[in-house]
Amino acid sequence: MRVLVRRCWGPPLAHGAGRGRPSPQWRALARLGWEDSRVREKPPWRVLFFGTDQFAREALRELHAARENQEEELIDKLEVVTLPSLSPRGLPVKQYAVQSQLPIYEWPDVGSGEYDVGVVASFGRLLSEALILKFPYGILNVHPSCLPRWRGPAPVIHTVLHGDTVTGVTIMQIRPKRFDVGPILKQETIPVPPKSTAKELEAVLSRLGANMLISVLKNLPESLSNGRQQPTEGATYAPKISAGTSCVKWEEQTSEQIFRLYRAIGNIIPLQTLWMGNTIKLLDLVEVNSSALADPKLTGQALIPGSLIYHKQSQILLVYCKDSWIGVRSVMLKKRLTATDFYNGYLHPWYQKNSQAQPSQCRFQTLRLPTKKKQNKTVTM
């Protein structure tokens, strides 16, 4: 089917005389800059999906379920674009597409078929204006934040990292050249569960976003015509997380900030610090209970950020930060060590005596990573 392509965010087009009164769906398309009679005015839609990770996989799964639903025809065609991966199995979206026997393209290949609408979820690539214009209804984005807060590639991580109490999902229409600035078609908010990790929160938001996407597709022309521009105030950016973010700054960060950092990125990059000049990774952080805090060892000496005490009853390492203590159950130093292993090997008085270590060295110190670009490994959730 050949379709007349116009900018779907351009000015409305006037209808010619003698065409009769247009339907509400047609008026919505006209407001979006379309007037070709061969454009579909209602479902089922032909969808090209762009995605990579677990968050995107949930949206794809819901689209696939809608395509398989014979009672309510919503999706006519569903194809997938994903990114290359070092894993032979590919990213979660590719794994699901293979399992479901959906046609797959590897970016920048986007196929040559005809589609009504594109859907992006956690894709991480800027789509060109020429690509957006191939879709009569444009491209929708399922974004896990309440835009304009946390635009960018890592919104869930920054939601947890900054201690937000409310978050949500936004279905928006993509615009070229900039991320996450298009009009909002649907937005829902939820409270952030206390002490939630980014991974746990992402799972909740992925289900919410998938359901919202289906709701928008059921009334797509009306949703597009009723879209609202994002507020100019309150915009924040959620950049990719670098390896340097995982370095704990004992003198600067409070216990709450360190725990938020752990819940935000701990499942992606372990928190890092220095021990006797060697990098050590903190694998399992826990909050310190009141009985441990009452230990005379914690209150009877001058405290320096990074100071270490082994709490035998709890079998955890207590580490002092800017304002209080955090607990560490296990670390990685050459190999994985429990807190007890670390104490026996590196904190026991006989070791410190025999190693001739200075007392000032027997504590965690902030790790400063090189600033060269090749050292700045970044990851996206």
Predicted local distance difference test score (pLDDT) of residue 19: 39
Tokens, residue 259:
């725990």
Q: Which domains does the chain have, with CATH numbers?
A: 38-226 (3.40.50.170), 243-366 (3.10.25.10)
Read off the pLDDT band of 135 (50, 70, 90): very high
> Which of 3-12, 126-135, 352-361 reaches the highest mean pLDDT?
126-135
Predicted local distance difference test score (pLDDT) of residue 18: 37
Predicted local distance difference test score (pLDDT) of residue 13: 36
E strand or H helix that includes residue 198 = helix 198-218
The overall average pLDDT reported for the chain is: 87
Predicted local distance difference test score (pLDDT) of residue 301: 64
Predicted local distance difference test score (pLDDT) of residue 10: 41
Rounded to whole angstroms, how far apart are CA atoms 217 and 277? 56
Cross-strand pairs, 141: 120, 172
Read off the pLDDT band of 261 (50, 70, 90): very high
State phi, psi for 241 to the nearest 5 degrees: -90, 130
Q: Is the pLDDT of residue 265 over 80?
A: yes
More confident call, 306 vs 375: 306
Percent share of the chain, pLDDT over 90:
72
More confident call, 86 vs 5: 86
Q: How much is the average pLDDT of 243-266?
A: 96
Read off the pLDDT band of 23 (50, 70, 90): very low
Read off the pLDDT band of 372 (50, 70, 90): low
Q: Could you tell me what percentage of the chain is helix, strand and coil, using 3-state DSSP and rounding each to the nearest 5? A: 30, 25, 45
CA atoms within 13 A on the CB side of 216: 32
Q: How much is the average pLDDT of 5-20?
A: 39
Read off the pLDDT band of 350 (50, 70, 90): low
Rounded to whole angstroms, how far apart are CA atoms 119 and 121? 7
Q: How much is the average pLDDT of 80-102?
A: 95
Predicted local distance difference test score (pLDDT) of residue 292: 74
Check if the beta carbon of residue 240 is closer than 8 Å to that of residue 379: yes
**62 burial level (CB within 10 Å; 0-12, 13-18, 19+):** buried
Q: How much is the average pLDDT of 156-169?
A: 98
The strand ranges marked E within 74-201 are: 75-82, 104-106, 117-121, 139-143, 166-173, 184-191
Rounded to whole angstroms, how far apart are CA atoms 57 and 31? 32
- pLDDT tens for 305-338 read 999 989 999 999 999 999 999 999 999 999 999 9
Sorted by sequence, the CB contacts under 8 Å of residue 360 that are 6+ apart come out as none
Predicted local distance difference test score (pLDDT) of residue 52: 97
Q: Is the pLDDT of residue 295 over 80?
A: no
E strand or H helix that includes residue 68 = helix 54-68
Q: Is the pLDDT of residue 203 over 80?
A: yes
Sorted by sequence, the CB contacts under 8 Å of residue 290 that are 6+ apart come out as none
What's the distance, Cα to Cα, between the start and end of the chain in Å? Answer: 38
Tokens, residue 50:
């762009």
Read off the pLDDT band of 362 (50, 70, 90): confident
Peptide bond into 108 cis (omega under 30): yes
Q: Is the pLDDT of residue 90 over 70?
A: yes
Q: How much is the average pLDDT of 231-258?
A: 95
Q: Is the pLDDT of residue 351 over 90?
A: no
The strand ranges marked E within 287-363 are: 308-311, 316-320, 325-333, 335-338
Q: How much is the average pLDDT of 205-231?
A: 97
The one-letter amino acid at 158: H
Q: How much is the average pLDDT of 151-177?
A: 97
139-143 vs 117-121, strand pairing mode = parallel
Q: Is the pLDDT of residue 377 over 60?
A: no
